[in-house]
Amino acid sequence: MRRKMVVGNWKMNGSIKQNEILLQGLIAGLRDLHDADFVVCTPYPYIGQAQAMLQGSNIAWGAQNLCSAKDGALTGAVAPSMLVDYGCTHVIIGHSERRALFNETDDTAAARFNAALEVGLIPIFCMGESREERDSDWTDYIVGRQLDSIIRRFGPEVLKNAVLAYEPLWAVGADEPATPEQAQEVHDFIRKRVARCDTGIAANVRILYGGSVRPHNAASLFGMPDVDGGLVGRASLVAEKFVPICEVANG
Ligand code: PGA
C-alpha cells in the first residue's frame, strides 16, 4: 500500500514574513495528520527558515532544483550537499518551468537526479506533455521519453528512492486540472512502463499528480488508483488551501 504524499512547490514566491505565517498555519493544520507525507519546497534563501520552523514537525522541506556538480567555480549554483546541510530531504527535478524557461534537458535533469540521490536526497522527478503534444497524441511518447531518460541511465532501482510526478504542462499554472481519468491514464502508463523493468518497484513508486490541484478537486484526483498524491503550486502558498489538500491525502 503506497502512502500518499503532498508536496508544496512554492516556486519563486514568499518573503520571510509571509513564510512565517504560512508555515505556522501548516504546522498547526497538519499536526494531527499522520497517514501521509508532507513536504514544502521553498526558494533557496528560505530553506534555513523552513528548517528552523519545521524541525520536529511532521512536515519535511526541500528545494526546487540543485546543481549536479559537488562544488567549484559555478557562480549562482547550489550544490546538493548544501541542501543536506540545511536538512532538506527532497528536491524537485526537471520541473516543466525549468525545462521551458531555463533550458533543462533530459540530460541535465538526469544528472541532477543522480546528484540528488548521491547525497541521499529524494528527487521528485517531473514529467509531462504540452497541450500541442497531447492534441497530437504524443503524451505517451513524451512522458515515456522523460521517464526513460532516468531508467535507461540508472536502472529502475533508483526509483526505490525517488518520487515521480506527472505534471501536464497545460494544467500547470492554469485553471484547468487534468480530469481524474486523464491523470489516471498517464499514471497507469508510467507505472506499467516501470513494471516492464521491475514489477516490485513499479508497485511501490509513488506517482504524484501536479497541475491546478485545489481543495475541491483533490479528492477525485487522489482517489484514482495510481495517483499517490499531489505536487501543488499556487494552492501551496495559502495554508487554508494546502491543509485541506493534505487532509484529503491523509484519508
Ligand atoms: P499549480 O502548479 O498547482 O500552480 O498548477 C503545479 C506545479 O507546477 O508544481
For the chain, the domains span: 5-250
Going by pLDDT thresholds of 50, 70 and 90, the confidence category of residue 1 is: confident
* Cα 68 to ligand 1 centre (Å): 24
Instruction: Name the residue with the closest Cα to ligand 1, atom 6.
Output: 233
Three-state SS for 124?
A: strand
The reply to whether ligand 1 has any atom less than 6 angstroms from the CB of 155 is no
Determine the distance separating the centroid of ligand 1 and the alpha carbon of 97, expressed in angstroms: 10
One-letter amino acid identity for 74?
Answer: L
pLDDT at residue 41, as a whole number: 98
Q: Which atom of ligand 1 is nearest to the CA of 174?
A: 5
Which atom number of ligand 1 is nearest to the Cα of residue 96? 8
- CA 40–ligand 1 middle distance (angstroms): 13
Q: Give pairs for 66-70: CB < 8 Å, separation 24+.
A: 66/91, 66/93, 66/112, 66/115, 66/116, 66/121, 67/112, 67/115, 68/108, 68/111, 68/112, 68/114, 68/115, 69/115, 70/115
> What CATH architecture does domain 5-250 belong to?
Alpha-Beta Barrel (3.20)
Would you state the pLDDT for residue 24? 98
Q: Which atom of ligand 1 is nearest to the CA of 213?
A: 3
- Which pLDDT score is estimated for 151? 97
* Cβ(96)–Cβ(83) below 8 Å: no
Pocket test for ligand 1, best of 95, 96, 212 (most atoms within 8 A of CB): 212
Q: Note the pTM of the prediction, 2 decimals.
A: 0.98
User: What confidence tens digit (pLDDT) does each residue in 167-222 have?
Assistant: 999 999 998 899 999 999 999 999 999 999 999 999 999 999 999 999 999 999 99
Query: 98-116, pLDDT tens digit by residue?
Result: 999 999 999 999 999 999 9
The reported pLDDT for the residue numbered 159 is 98
Whether ligand 1 lies within 6 angstroms of the CB of 234 is answered as yes
Residue numbers annotated as active site: 95, 167
How far is the C-alpha of 56 from the C-alpha of 210, rounded, in Å? Answer: 27
Is the per-residue pLDDT at 2 higher than 90? Answer: yes
Ligand 1 atom with least separation from CA of 171: 5
* pLDDT tens digits, 19-74: 999 999 999 999 999 999 999 999 999 999 999 999 999 999 999 999 999 999 99
Sequence-distant (6+) residues with CB within 8 A of 146 are: 94, 106, 109, 127, 128
Q: What is the pLDDT of residues 129-181, one digit of tens each?
A: 999 999 999 999 999 999 999 999 999 999 999 999 999 999 999 988 999 99
